[in-house]
Structures are given as structure tokens and as C-alpha cells.
């Protein structure tokens, strides 16, 4: 196997609008003062806390696969499709062999239209990102070197959990894919963990990669090896219930604390790669929300519950500001159509699976543990179709109201992936 890695800085021009906490209604864990800072609109960044990065990793074994990771919150499919097409044409690569994923930092420039199409993405910023992707891919293709790989797994304790069901299952492991040249020189260390990078809250007015940035720098400082991150099944996982603050000091505590658990190899095992194989898994979701029985029934249930609640209660606020609002936002539309694409990149001794959404713990586990082969799960990749929630959680957790996946569709997406794995 051959590999190459490179890094570019993708800081925006300031001041700029910020994505991640667009509305105070989402900030249940914020104080009243912090909510006031957020308001009902977009924050304006007044400074830069740390660099936002574009990491590029190319792996070649028979076929060539390009992985980009961006320190942004959301990369909509129309933008990832455009970037993949541009890189494909510039480098002579198959579009299906290109993956564009995000760290999901909530303190990045606005580069999406938002769930309801209300935001105005910075198109010039996207063009700059695209240009840097092309440059990075070309550079990496020219600098491919024979590489050796090891895979390790470390449990991360004490920093995040299942934010909907504290004490219940979540992915607390970090897969560590380490790539070195044939003579042992460091190329890159790929960390695959599952957590929202959301230490800093709506009161923050600085562009930052949040604790993921601190984590990368801390691990690299200790090992001398560049670090890139794949965010996994973080749809229901975050620091929300365990963090002790929402400031930069807490960011440092998280990044440095998690790094301390990762820097010493536990049981790294060599990987053998003869050929890599890439399969694209596509599905079409097309429905009329106004005739969707699940949404109509949920609207009736929420309205009935509201009539029995104190309007000043927290539950009433959650229903009116989030649950019912999200349901009725969808019911106001006559058609929701999108075509999520997942990738299965099989290296023989391990695989990488990508999904274009915020996938939850239950669904992520089905993919990771399908057949015992080591599997890295890269979410927020090649598009962003919001939360992928298993059908048992519909009508219970916030993410099931906020998602555009109709009831059962996320489970069907995973079924398609597993069917391809079986084939």
C-alpha cells in the first residue's frame, strides 16, 4: 500500500457569520445570559481561536482513495458533490473514490443553507476550500510512498456519553490507524472517535475547531506524528452532560485529557493491505410530509400534550420551540427528496464506511460490529442529511424530530450497507 498525507489551513476572512448554534432554542444547556448572546440569529465571529484545517489522506493499493476532512460544521451534498467532481476532473480520479467529511465543529463559518434553507452560505469560502482540495490532492498524488499500517483501539473514559440516555450505551472507543513509511518514518495517525465537538457554546464568538483541534495538537506534540480525525456515530453523543464549563479552559482540559489516554500504544496490530475496493451504496428518499402518517400523528400527540402542560414548563418549551416546530416545518413542505450516498472502502484486513449524516449509536454499532472485521466509521461525509436515528427512538429523542429521514429510513440505509458487506 502507498500513502500520502498533507494539511492546509482553511481559516475564513473575518468577520464572518458562524454556524452551529443558529438559534437559542437549541441551546438547552446554556444559561439565560448565554442564550441572549446567541439570540435567534447567527453569531458573528470577532476573532480566530485556532486554525481550521483541511486534512488530506490518499491511500493506494490497486485503486486510489482520497479522504478529505474539514473543520466545518456541515458540508451539504451539493457542495461535496461539486468538490468531488472538481477533484476528480483535476486529478483523473473516480468520483466515488473521493470522500469529503467534516469534524462538525459548531464554531465554523456558515457554509450551508441550514435545515430549513434559511442560511446564506459563504460561496467564496467554499471556492477557496475546493481550490485547496485540488492542490492538496495533486500534491499527495505526487508524494505517495510505500506505507505500513497498524490499528489500535483505546477506550476513552470520563469525557462524553450518550446525551439522551446517560448511563446507557455509546461508542467510547477510539480506533487509531497509524501510517508510517516503509522505513518507519511517521506519515499520519488517523483517530476515529464518536463525539460532538461542542465544548464551546453559543456565547463563543471565536472561530475554532473546539476540543478536536486541541486533541490533534496534543497528540502530535507527544508523538511527533500529524493527526487527522474521523468523527463517527456522534448523533447522540456529546460532552453536554459531563463538561464543567463552556470556555476555552474546558476545551483545553478535554483535548489534553483525551490525548493523554491515546498517546501510549496499547495493542497495535499490523495490517496487511493487498488491494483496496470501493463500493458506493446509494438510496433515494422521496416523500410528501403532508401525507406522512407518522408526522401527522406526532403533530396530534404533541398538540394534545401541550394542552395539559404549564406553558412555562421546560417540557412545554421543548415541545413548542423544538419538537412541534420541527414537525410542522416538515409538514409545511410538499416534497422532501434527497439521495444519500455511503461508501464502503475495504482494505481486506479492515474497512472504512462513510455515511452522510449524524448517525446514532445503535445504527453505528450495527455497521461497526457486523462481522468482526475492524471497521472505521466516518460520518458527516459526502453530504449532510441531518440525524440518522434508529426507528425505536422516533418520537422520544430530540434528534428524531429534527431529522429529515422519515421513520425507518435510517434503518433502511444501514440495511443497504450491511447487504453490500454481505455481498
44 lies in the same domain as 178: yes
* One pLDDT digit (tens) per residue for the chain, 423 residues: 999 999 999 999 999 999 988 655 555 555 555 555 554 568 899 999 999 999 999 999 999 999 999 999 999 999 999 999 999 999 999 999 999 999 999 999 999 998 777 889 999 999 999 999 999 999 999 999 999 999 999 999 999 999 999 999 999 999 999 999 999 999 999 999 999 999 998 889 999 999 999 999 999 999 999 999 999 999 999 999 999 999 999 999 999 999 999 998 789 999 999 899 999 999 999 999 999 999 999 999 999 999 999 999 989 988 998 899 999 999 999 999 999 999 999 999 999 999 999 999 999 999 999 999 999 999 999 999 999 999 999 999 999 999 999 999 999 999 999 999 998
In a domain, 385, yes or no: no
260 lies in the same domain as 374: yes
97 lies in the same domain as 169: yes
User: Helix 248-262 crosses helix 210-223 at what angle (to 10 degrees)?
Assistant: 40
For residues 180 and 187, the answer to whether their CB atoms sit within 8 Å is: yes
Q: Which of 377, 383, 352 is nearest to 363 (CA)?
A: 377
Would you state the cell numbers that stand for residue 183, as one nine-digit string? 522505513
In a domain, 387, yes or no: no
Cα-Cα-Cα-Cα dihedral sign, residues 186, 188, 191, 192:
negative
User: Helix 361-368 crosses helix 409-422 at what angle (to 10 degrees)?
Assistant: 10
User: Helix 123-142 crosses helix 77-91 at what angle (to 10 degrees)?
Assistant: 40
CA atoms within 13 A on the CB side of 216: 26
- State the residue for C-alpha cell 475495504: 346
Pairing of strands 186-193, 227-231: parallel
212 lies in the same domain as 164: yes
The 3-class SS string of 21-42 reads CCCHHHCCCCCHHHHHHHCCCC
CA distances from 26 to 38, 209, 325 (A): 10, 20, 12
150 lies in the same domain as 266: yes
**Burial group, residue 276, by CB count within 10 angstroms (0-12, 13-18, 19+):** buried
205 lies in the same domain as 314: no
In the chain, how many domains are there?
A: 2
65 lies in the same domain as 213: yes
In a domain, 304, yes or no: yes
In a domain, 230, yes or no: yes
The residue range of the domain holding 312 is: 289-334
Check residue 40 and give its pLDDT. 55
Amino acid at each position: 500500500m502507498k500513502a500520502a498525507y498533507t494539511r492546509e489551513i482553511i481559516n475564513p476572512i473575518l468577520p464572518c457569520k458562524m454556524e452551529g448554534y443558529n438559534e437559542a432554542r437549541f441551546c438547552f444547556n446554556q444559561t439565560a445570559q448565554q442564550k441572549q448572546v446567541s439570540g435567534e440569529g447567527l453569531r458573528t465571529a470577532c476573532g480566530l481561536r485556532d486554525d481550521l484545517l483541511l486534512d488530506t489522506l490518499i491511500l493506494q493499493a490497486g485503486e486510489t482513495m482520497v479522504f478529505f476532512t474539514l473543520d466545518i460544521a456541515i458540508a451539504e451534498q451539493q457542495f461535496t458533490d461539486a468538490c468531488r467532481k472538481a477533484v476528480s476532473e483535476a486529478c483523473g480520479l473516480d468520483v466515488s473514490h473521493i470522500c469529503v467529511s467534516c469534524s462538525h465543529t459548531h464554531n465554523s463559518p456558515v457554509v450551508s443553507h441550514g435545515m430549513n434553507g434559511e442560511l446564506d452560505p459563504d460561496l467564496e469560502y467554499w471556492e477557496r476550500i475546493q481550490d485547496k482540495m485540488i492542490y492538496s490532492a495533486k500534491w499527495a498524488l505526487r508524494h505517495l510512498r510505500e506505507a505500513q499500517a497498524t490499528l489500535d483501539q483505546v477506550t476513552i473514559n470520563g469525557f462524553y456519553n450518550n446525551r439522551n440516555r446517560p448511563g446507557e450505551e455509546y461508542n467510547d472507543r477510539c480506533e487509531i490507524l497509524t501510517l508510517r513509511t516503509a522505513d518507519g518514518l511517521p506519515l499520519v495517525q488517523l483517530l476515529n472517535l464518536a463525539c460532538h465537538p461542542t465544548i464551546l457554546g453559543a456565547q463563543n464568538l471565536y472561530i475554532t475547531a473546539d476540543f478536536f483541534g486541541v486533541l490533534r495538537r496534543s497528540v502530535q506534540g507527544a508523538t511527533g506524528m500529524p493527526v487527522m480525525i474521523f468523527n463517527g456515530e456522534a448523533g447522540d453523543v456529546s460532552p453536554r452532560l459531563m463538561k464543567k464549563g463552556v470556555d476555552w479552559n474546558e476545551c483545553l482540559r478535554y483535548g489534553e485529557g483525551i490525548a493523554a489516554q491515546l498517546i501510549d500504544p496499547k495493542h497495535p496490530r499490523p495490517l496487511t493491505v493487498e488491494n483496496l475496493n470501493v463500493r458506493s451504496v446509494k438510496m433515494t428518499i422521496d416523500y410528501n410530509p403532508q401525507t406522512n402518517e407518522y408526522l401527522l400523528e406526532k403533530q396530534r400527540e404533541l398538540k394534545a400534550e401541550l394542552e395539559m402542560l404549564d406553558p412555562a414548563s421546560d417540557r412545554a418549551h421543548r415541545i413548542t420551540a423544538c419538537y412541534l416546530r420541527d414537525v410542522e416545518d416538515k409538514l409545511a413542505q410538499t416534497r422532501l427528496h434527497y439521495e444519500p450516498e455511503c461508501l464502503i472502502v475495504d482494505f481486506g484486513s479492515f474497512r472504512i464506511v462513510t455515511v452522510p449524516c449524524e448517525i446514532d449509536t445503535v445504527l453505528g454499532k450495527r455497521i461497526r460490529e457486523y462481522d468482526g472485521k475492524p471497521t472505521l466509521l466516518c460520518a458527516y461525509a459526502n453530504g449532510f442529511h441531518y440525524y440518522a436515528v434508529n426507528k425505536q427512538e422516533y418520537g422520544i429523542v430530540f434528534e428524531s424530530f429534527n431529522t429529515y429521514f422519515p421513520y425507518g429510513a435510517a434503518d433502511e440505509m444501514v440495511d443497504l450497507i450491511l447487504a453490500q458487506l454481505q455481498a
